[in-house]
Amino acid sequence: MRVLQISPTLVGEGMLTGQPCILIRLAGCNLHCTWCDTPEAHRGGSEVPFADIVDRGILAKSEWILLTGGEPLLQKSTNKLVKKWIEGGKKVLIETNGSVPIEKFLLDGVRISMDVKTPSSGEVNSHHKENLDLLRPIDAITFIIGDKKDYNWAKRFIKKHNMDAVIYFQPCWGRTSARRLAEWIISDGLNARLSFQLHKVLKIP
């Protein structure tokens, strides 16, 4: 499998923020977000044998594996990889850009954190529509908010769709301040939580 990074760290955003984990970042992405913070996902990475990636996850000290990308669900062996980790007693948090069907990844021991791309990403409406109805209360949907237009778009989106997953609004790093986003959420009494990129504040992987 093509891998960009393997490193112990803390979950940086969403429902498990602060949880120790082993970060396994797969290469490859099918989208081109304007504010992408992992541009190397498209070209970089190196081939790592499947069995080695299984072991790196299972032998990690932390209970949780954070599987991210790029878009980690694009590689053919990803589903088998996640199942191996679960069989090995691990829990897996999968971060996905939302464009790939998630159905076969909704396993016991797996939690999904799915993006719904907002207009400023340049990839609005790229999400696989059926995913919205499949996400469970233990899963999350994250809207990255680059400006007030994104905020209003995401606000309309969550009112229109009846989703079981926990909703997060996250400021786009360098574009929107967390403070301003918090004020918008509070002012509207929105049914969404503010997410913050802890790993960027701490400057850890």
List contacts with ligand SF4 (CB under 6 A). 29, 31-33, 36, 38, 41, 69-71, 97
Question: Which residue, 45 or 57, is less far from ligand SF4 as judged by CB?
Answer: 45
CB of 1 to ligand SF4, least distance (A): 16
CB of 189 to ligand SF4, least distance (A): 29
Residue with tokens 């797969």: 26
- What does 7-41 look like in DSSP terms, one character per residue? EEEE--SGGGTT-EEEEEEE---S---TT-S-GGG
CB of 177 to ligand SF4, least distance (A): 20
**Rounded Cα distance, 134 and 159, in Å:** 17
Question: Which residue, 54 or 102, is less far from ligand SF4 as judged by CB?
Answer: 102
Residue 204 CA neighbour count, 13 Å, CB half: 16
Structure tokens at 47: 């081939």
Question: Which residue, 69 or 146, is less far from ligand SF4 as judged by CB?
Answer: 69
Question: Which residue, 17 or 30, is less far from ligand SF4 as judged by CB?
Answer: 30
CB of 135 to ligand SF4, least distance (A): 17
**Rounded Cα distance, 185 and 193, in Å:** 8
